Every structure is written in structure tokens, then in C-alpha cells.
Structure 1
Amino acid sequence: MNNNDVIENLLTGERLTVIESAGNGSDDFIYEYACLPRTPTAPEHLHPIAEESFEVVQGVMTCRINGIERTFTAGEKAIIPPGTPHTGWNSGTGELILRAKISPGMNFEQYYRTIFYLSKQNKTNEHGVPGLLHLAAISFNMKNQTFYPKYIFLQKLYINLAGPVGNWLGYKADYK
């Protein structure tokens, strides 16, 4: 993956600029993320082994971190420890720009590239999320990276059963 690559989700209006790819001499994935107001919000999720941090460069972001809502403006930062449920959204009236880091970066860049590619191909819903079988195939190949906060055991079971089926049916986890 190349630093300074810009990937866009034309469906949701999200834009991600890769600053540093995990594996290019670093374990971290550092990127700039931009979105407009009313961009679909990622559902509440957690990363079992990755720490996520961000600084608001421009705009206003509201986050729910471990059940507590807080609003961040330009210059403010947050660190989300591994295993902490969180979500965030553009709560301002203009573009939101974040500088973010996920450590370790694992396959997060690959995940964004895949999801954004699928939305360009009209293979996601209006929120930019692929169907359950395709999502299972993606998640199976990106082991233990992201889960919804409840019923993690059942999610792992579904991913480990449905993921290989999705792969066998041709659902890919990596689109370059």
C-alpha cells in the first residue's frame, strides 16, 4: 500500500488519505479521514487488540466512547483503548477532518479499501456495508480486528462458519 493514497467512498462521501501504512516500517496505520454532515455513522464497535486515537483537524465530531458521549472540536484528541466500544459522527455543519491512528494497524487499511471499493461497485447497502455473507468473508480474513460490543462469541462463530463459505462462493476480502 502506498502512503498518500486517497481512497473515497462515493456512496457515503467519506475520504481517507493514507499517511502511513502498517507494514511499511511501522505497525501503525495513520490516516486522515474526512466526511460531510449526515454521513452514515459506523455502528458501535470495538477493536480487541488495537488502540485507536484521533485528533480533530477541522469540524466537530461527537463520539460515544464506552457509553459516554463527548463532542470534539479542532485540536482536541481522544485515545480509545483496545476493547472499548465506540462510535463517532460528524455533528457539525461543515466537513469533518480527523487525523487518526490505529495501533497495531493490522489490516485496517485493507478493510477501508475493500469497503470503499464495494460501495463503488454498488455491492453495499445505503450505509456502505456489504451483505452479511460478504462481510463474514471479509471478517474471516481479517481475524479478530473489529466486533460489535454484544455477543462477540456468536459473531466469531458466524464469521468462522460463514466466512469460508463466502470465500468459496467468490466473495473476496481484498480489492486493490
Structure 2
Amino acid sequence: MASRTLTNPRTGERIIFTKTSRETNGKLFEMSYKMAPHAAIVDEYSHPHQEMAIRVLSGTLTCSVNGVNKKLCAGEGITIPAGVPHFQKNEFEVDVHAI
């Protein structure tokens, strides 16, 4: 699949879809994303049927999961269960790159 890139100027995110559910027999899709300094997802959200795993490649990402904040540094990750409210933000001066 040719990678598809989306940019959201409101949240400071650039998303590149790297694996599709079609390529993984419906099991997952994968995206690489970068978040600009001091950017945040607009609001808390959830995925009713899918869990979400985040692995930070560079920078520090603050994840709020069910109202609890956790800072993830490069090499760290988190798995968010299906249906659990969450959002991400970058509170620092450098881009965050995560998968």
C-alpha cells in the first residue's frame, strides 16, 4: 500500500498510515504519527471495539487514560483497552513521534 498521510493543523498531528486492516486480515491497522510541540487532541475519545497501543519513538507524550495522566518517553508504550476514554498531548518543546 502506498502510505497515506493526513495532517491536522488544529491538533498539530501528522499521521501516516503504515499498515491497513486489509493487509493484516482485519486484525489491526498501524499508523505513525507526529505531534507538534504543545499540541493536543481536541477532546477525549474512545474506540468502542478496539484496544489501542501506543509506542513512543521520540519525545515525550502525555496520555490521559480514564482521567489518569501518564508521561511516555522514547521506548515506552501503553495499551488502552476498548471503550476506555483517552487523549494525547505534547506538553514539551519538541515533536513527539509515536506508532
Q: Which residue of 1 aligns with 2:23?
A: 24
Q: TM-score, normalised by structure 2?
A: 0.86
Q: What is the CA-CA distance between 1:89 and the residue it aligns to? A: 0.4
Residues 71 and 20 (structure 1 numbering): CA distance in 2 closer, same or farther, change over 3 Å? same
Letter in 2 for 1:57: L
Q: Which residue of 2 aligns with 1:88?
A: 88
Q: Higher relative contact order by CA 8 Å / sep ≥ 6: 1 or 2?
A: 2
Question: Larger radius of gyration, structure 1 or 2?
Answer: 1
Q: Which residue of 2 aligns with 1:49?
A: 49
Within 5 Å, which residues of 2 pair with 1:149-164? none
Residues 29 and 66 (structure 1 numbering): CA distance in 2 closer, same or farther, change over 3 Å? same
Q: What is the CA-CA distance between 1:11 and the residue it aligns to? A: 4.8
Q: Could you tell me the percent identity over the aligned residues?
A: 28
Letter in 2 for 1:44: E
Q: Which residue of 2 aligns with 1:58?
A: 58
Aligned length: 98
Q: Is the 8 A contact 2:12 2:40 kept in 1?
A: no
Q: Is the 8 A contact 2:36 2:96 kept in 1?
A: yes
Q: Give the whole-Å Cα distance in 2 for the aligned partners of 1:40 and 1:84.
A: 18
Q: Which residue of 2 aligns with 1:149?
A: none
Task: Classify the secondary structure of the residue corresponding to 2:22.
Answer: coil
Unaligned runs of at least 5 residues, structure 2: none
More helix by share: 1
Letter in 2 for 1:82: A
Residues 54 and 40 (structure 1 numbering): CA distance in 2 closer, same or farther, change over 3 Å? closer
Q: Give the whole-Å Cα distance in 1 for the aligned partners of 2:42 and 2:96.
A: 15
